[in-house]
Amino acid sequence: MDRELLKGSTPLLLLSLLCEGPMYGYQIIETVRQRTGGSYTLKEGALYPALHKLEATEFISSYWETQENGRERRYYSLQPAGEAFLMAKKKEWNQFVDMVQAFVGPRA
């Protein structure tokens, strides 16, 4: 997958995932990798900064949870403001796809 195309899609992806329920970082990476059949591995250097930014703007919130074995995980969950933002992002995404499609032509 071309790295350049990915730019800007990360927040949309994260928000969409968290819309299904709270998740923690490592889990997000694994989920993305599995759902794409391994063709896209979200990098930590992209994930964590994006997550933190989303939290700073209060689109998501986080909480630590201790597992039975004593280890900790940081879960992120979608906030109401984030849900609204996700809607807007989705609309933007569709417009973007339409736009490019208008030049590239419809899918073969």
Partner DNA sequence: TTGACGGACCTCGTTTCGCGAGGCATATTG
Partner DNA sequence: CAATATGCCTCGCGAAACGAGGTCCGTCAA
**Interacting residues with DNA (CB under 7 A):** 3-4, 6-11, 24-27, 42-46, 48-53, 67, 69-74
Q: Where are the alpha helices (DSSP H) in 8-105?
A: 10-18, 25-35, 44-56, 80-104
Of residues 35 and 65, the one with the C-beta less far from a copy of itself: 35
Angle at 62 between CA 81 and CA 85, to 5 degrees: 20
**Site of interaction with a copy of itself (CB under 8 A):** 1-9, 12-13, 16-17, 32, 35-36, 39-40, 89-90, 92-97, 99-100, 102-105, 107-108
